[in-house]
Structure 1
Amino acid sequence: MRAVLLAGIAAMGFAPAIAEAQDRPDQKAFFSLYKELVETNTVVGVGSCTKAAAQIAARLKAAGYADSDITQFSVPEHPDDGGVVAILKGSDAKAKPMLLLAHIDVVAAKREDWKRDPFKLVEENGFYYARGTVDDKAMASVWADAMIRFKQQGYHPRRTIKMALTCGEETTYAFNGAQWLTDNRPDLVSGEFGLNEGGGGRFDANGKPEALAVQVGEKAAQNFTFLATNPGGHSSAPTPDNAIYELDDALRAVQGYEFPAKFTDTSRAFFAATARVAPAPVADAINRLLADPQDRAANAIIGRDKVLHSMLRTTCVATLVNAGHAENALPQRATANVNCRIFPGETVEGTLAKLKELAGPKVTVTANQPIRPLAVPPQLDPKIIGPMKTVAAKYFPGVPMVPMLLTGATDAVFFGKIGMPVYGVPGILVEQDLNGVHGLDERIRVSALYRGRDYLFDLVKAYGG
């Protein structure tokens, strides 16, 4: 899930001299790649990531990559959930590789719900509309385009540059390409560090950048099933015991519960930076909460911003319900999925215990499989953060860069077991409403996409040497 979550940072200005969109030949080539990827349906179980990966592989080969530099992968049980890894070899064997990571699967989108066809790229009023325009085909396209340009320009990095475009990030129960690579082919993706979704930045309401963000930690995503059962019977003779009502009572208890506010080192640094530039009431509330996370009045003020509210705690929300078996029968079974984003340092087991307490004795609660690993927060390594700030001075002069705890979850969680830190990279800014990611009419500001592309291209070269 690509969601850039910044709030309360003062607006700053862009440098107007940099070309914004489709003016240069290389930008037109990028748009062709981006459009093809966006318009290739990669909803798990509906479209084909394997097809999209093959299209990228074909472009890489056309740019001059040898077959030995490209690995297309899938498994027999999931032939449409494949991905692609490409490697640009470095000149210094002692320099550890870097990884460019992105997922190419997308959340489902129903045509009848959208104003436009979700799988046709449309440009309107300075925005590109379609499913995946942000999450995560913007970054996937930027990485693939960068690898192609490196080869075309004869760029020979000191450090080996790897790229992995994978499937399954958006669907918990699906085959996950990032997990498969770290389990089965760590040699293809291992390196000193990785760059991934999860950072970026945010515009203010007037389209000016508020801040750049580098993600150095994330919450854990975990689904839970709530189940109420009842013998049922004829609907003409209702009884007080009703599976739907019992499930509803449990979900309302979850809705009414707020997990306590907490800070990590990253989120504390983020809120401290926010307090320095936020309006007085918000700044005061942040400072009070930093001093005392149990300050209810301060928490209420900060919690008016849904992103800041989520960044402070574990959150759990009902996302799916299913109940009953006939319109003229009392329900025998009612189920709901509750999606939780667990704060770093807390556990699936602890969250399950709280949900069971909230649900009460009439509703059973279980943790859904698979239970994904908890993210290992990377360090704020100056060797990583320094180039981000240096290159940003060219493309985003005067715009502050802040560390951020991602309220969502990404495929970075699978790289802890191979000892590889993964950072959510800054550069591609989104709107205050998060651009419709995972919702209706997903979109990205055209200028933000092209400026972010230029920034990330130069950033990778800064790391590559």
Structure 2
Amino acid sequence: MMQMWRWMAGTLALAVPGAADAQQLRPDQTAFRALYQELVETDTSITTGSCTALADKVAVRLKAAGYADDQITSFAAPDHPKEGGLVVVLPGSSATAKPMLLLGHIDVVAAKREDWTRDPYKMVEENGYFYGSGTQDMKAMDAIWIDSMIRFKQSGYRPKRTIKLALTCGEETSTAFNGAQWLAKNKPDLIAAEFALNEGGGGRSDGNGKLVIANMHVGEKAAVNYRIEATNPGGHSSAPVRDNAIYELADALVKLRAYDFPVQLSDTTRAYFRIAGKARGDAMGQAMVAIAADPADKTAEATLNGDKSYHSMLRTTCVATLLDGGHANNALPQRAAANVNCRIFPGVSAAQVRETIATVIDDPRMTVKQTDDRGPAAVPPPLDPKIIKPAETLLAKYYPGVPLAPTMSTGATDGIYLGAIGIPVYGPPGVYGDPDGNGTHGLNERASVKAVYTGRDYLYDLVRAYAG
């Protein structure tokens, strides 16, 4: 009878709204999909959403699974009531084994419905992908972490080391209340751990559903913003002159667009290009192996620059992201400025990058000022065999023959705040992406259905392997 019920539940999963072309799901996968859908369909953008609302929904699920009130800590700043988060703790059996921490940001980049093909805050499953804001970054992993904590509690699992989960807001917006930063500063004992697992890893497919390389995120760039500004006396628009703040700013940005920072390699990126390049075996793979052997190989560099992610992994990058200028339709602009967002390679200072931008622009009429940064410089964690080996062992089970390569994130994660208080942070393999980036931070963001379900099983087993 139980077997018949399970068969029926799996068959009924085909009728889940939005899952018309889904494969038959197990009952536990159906429950997971509902959780994932709730996360995606709860708007957590800084403009129209609420992380606190989603954290409250997760807390309800955790309590229903059996977590006591004193094992769940909800938090929010009084002046940022919609940007809250939570921490849940599953106690371990050992008094000596240090805890491990699962970290996930639940906020998403703001999405405009009129620009998307589908409603960004509705999870739609089509052609082997889940579509929706946050499906890839990073609500799939959030759902896996929450689902794992629920399954651990419901099954009576007692890990050797305590497992903690922190769900936070503010990772996607520099002006928001950052929950990971707040916890590191105000509640370090609550999240204290020997190590943490976070986003940034995963892997890369061939674009047709086949995983080519799995990644362990080990280190990241620093995110820093600069303001380039041109000023001018202005005047009446009926008598234009060449000395125009908007034109000067445009000229400066064209120069910056044409500039590439020099190639740099770290131990992590050198290993990545060597291992991932060998796995590919094509012209791009040959260039990856060549650059790992000789960073001065210009032919290899030119090939790798044709891939936007590899181009970024090789150097510091700076790009214009915001513009403002002028004050009236019929007046010459007195001011024009651009925000330039830089992702700085480890070991390079923000001051050095500011000087480089000023040198590239080469215009004394312009000012270049650092406006902010995301916090402390990232502390690259060690390539610890206790972290790497279990991930490799499970990878061989789920994806035989696929190599694991350490990788440096070209973006930035909340791991920097944990590293600053002595918690090394790793991004494990699991939910991999396609070469085009899956629309992350852009239009029609999507996550591979296969990657999500297999990643769920993989990461559940990996957490158990680490926890003992």
TM-based fold match above 0.5? yes
Residue of structure 1 equivalent to 2:217: 215
Does structure 1 conserve the Cα–Cα contact (< 8 Å) formed by 2:217 and 2:427? Answer: yes
Distance change (3 Å), C-alpha of 1:127 and 1:329: same
Residues in 2 aligned to 1:234 and 1:327: alpha-carbon distance in whole angstroms: 10
Within the candidate set 426, 429, 433, 1:426 is matched to 429
Does structure 1 conserve the Cα–Cα contact (< 8 Å) formed by 2:275 and 2:403? Answer: no
1:278 deviation in Å? 3.9
Residue of structure 1 equivalent to 2:98: 96
Please give the secondary structure, in 2, of the residue aligned with 1:369: strand
1:119 deviation in Å? 0.4
Match runs of 1:253-292 below 5 Å: 253-279=255-281, 281-292=283-294
Within the candidate set 414, 420, 430, 1:417 is matched to 420
Distance change (3 Å), C-alpha of 1:408 and 1:154: same
Structure 1 stretches of at least 4 aligned residues deviating more than 6 Å after TM superposition: none
Does structure 2 conserve the Cα–Cα contact (< 8 Å) formed by 1:173 and 1:370? Answer: no
What is the aligned length? 446
* CA deviation map 1:351-378 (0-9, x unaligned): 0111122232111111112452111111
Amino acid at match of 2:105: H
Residue of structure 1 equivalent to 2:192: 190
Residue of structure 2 equivalent to 1:349: 351
Residue of structure 1 equivalent to 2:446: 443
Q: Does 1:87 align with 2:83?
A: no
Does structure 2 conserve the Cα–Cα contact (< 8 Å) formed by 1:22 and 1:31? Answer: no
* CA deviation map 1:232-254 (0-9, x unaligned): 11111001110101111111111
Residues in 1 aligned to 2:442 and 2:282: alpha-carbon distance in whole angstroms: 33
Residue of structure 2 equivalent to 1:382: 385
Please give the secondary structure, in 1, of the residue aligned with 2:420: helix
1:275 deviation in Å? 3.5
Q: Does 1:304 align with 2:306?
A: yes
Residues in 2 aligned to 1:304 and 1:199: alpha-carbon distance in whole angstroms: 22
Amino acid at match of 1:380: L
Residue of structure 1 equivalent to 2:165: 163
Residue of structure 1 equivalent to 2:66: 64
Could you tell which deviates more after superposition, 448-457 or 285-294?
Answer: 285-294
Could you tell which deviates more after superposition, 387-396 or 63-72?
Answer: 387-396
* CA deviation map 1:290-309 (0-9, x unaligned): 34423333311221111111
Residue of structure 1 equivalent to 2:19: none
Amino acid at match of 2:147: D
Aligned identity (percent) is 59
1:126 deviation in Å? 1.6
Q: Does 1:463 align with 2:445?
A: no
Does structure 1 conserve the Cα–Cα contact (< 8 Å) formed by 2:257 and 2:319? Answer: yes
Please give the secondary structure, in 1, of the residue aligned with 2:115: coil
1:380 deviation in Å? 1.0
Does structure 1 conserve the Cα–Cα contact (< 8 Å) formed by 2:213 and 2:279? Answer: no
Residues in 2 aligned to 1:285 and 1:154: alpha-carbon distance in whole angstroms: 50
Within the candidate set 117, 135, 138, 2:137 is matched to 135
Distance change (3 Å), C-alpha of 1:201 and 1:287: closer
Amino acid at match of 1:339: N
Residue of structure 2 equivalent to 1:149: 151
Residues in 2 aligned to 1:212 and 1:266: alpha-carbon distance in whole angstroms: 14
1:22 deviation in Å? 5.8
Superposition CA RMSD, Å: 1.4
Amino acid at match of 2:92: G
* CA deviation map 1:177-229 (0-9, x unaligned): 00000000011111000000000011113211101100101111111111111
Residues in 2 aligned to 1:98 and 1:285: alpha-carbon distance in whole angstroms: 38
Residues in 2 aligned to 1:119 and 1:312: alpha-carbon distance in whole angstroms: 35
Residue of structure 2 equivalent to 1:407: 410
Please give the secondary structure, in 2, of the residue aligned with 1:140: helix
1:21 deviation in Å? 5.6
Q: Does 1:396 align with 2:402?
A: no
Does structure 1 conserve the Cα–Cα contact (< 8 Å) formed by 2:222 and 2:374? Answer: no
Amino acid at match of 2:117: K
Distance change (3 Å), C-alpha of 1:388 and 1:286: closer
Please give the secondary structure, in 2, of the residue aligned with 1:290: helix
Residues in 2 aligned to 1:51 and 1:21: alpha-carbon distance in whole angstroms: 31
Please give the secondary structure, in 2, of the residue aligned with 1:41: coil
Within the candidate set 179, 182, 189, 1:180 is matched to 182
| Structure showing greater relative contact order (alpha-carbon pairs closer than 8 Å, 6 or more residues apart) | 1
Residues in 1 aligned to 2:170 and 2:453: alpha-carbon distance in whole angstroms: 26
Q: Does 1:373 align with 2:376?
A: yes
Could you tell which deviates more after superposition, 325-334 or 74-83?
Answer: 325-334
Residues in 1 aligned to 2:271 and 2:104: alpha-carbon distance in whole angstroms: 26
* CA deviation map 1:54-82 (0-9, x unaligned): 00011000000000000000110111100
Does structure 2 conserve the Cα–Cα contact (< 8 Å) formed by 1:21 and 1:27? Answer: no
1:97 deviation in Å? 0.2
1:124 deviation in Å? 1.1
Question: TM-score, with normalisation over the residues of structure 1?
Answer: 0.93
Give the gaps of 5 or more residues in structure 2: 1-21
Within the candidate set 328, 338, 341, 1:339 is matched to 341
Distance change (3 Å), C-alpha of 1:367 and 1:147: same
Within the candidate set 63, 77, 82, 1:75 is matched to 77
Please give the secondary structure, in 2, of the residue aligned with 1:254: helix
Residues in 2 aligned to 1:434 and 1:104: alpha-carbon distance in whole angstroms: 19
Question: TM-score, with normalisation over the residues of structure 2?
Answer: 0.93
Within the candidate set 247, 251, 254, 2:253 is matched to 251
Does structure 2 conserve the Cα–Cα contact (< 8 Å) formed by 1:86 and 1:164? Answer: yes
Residues in 2 aligned to 1:89 and 1:200: alpha-carbon distance in whole angstroms: 27
Could you tell which deviates more after superposition, 414-423 or 64-73?
Answer: 414-423
1:281 deviation in Å? 4.0
Residue of structure 2 equivalent to 1:322: 324
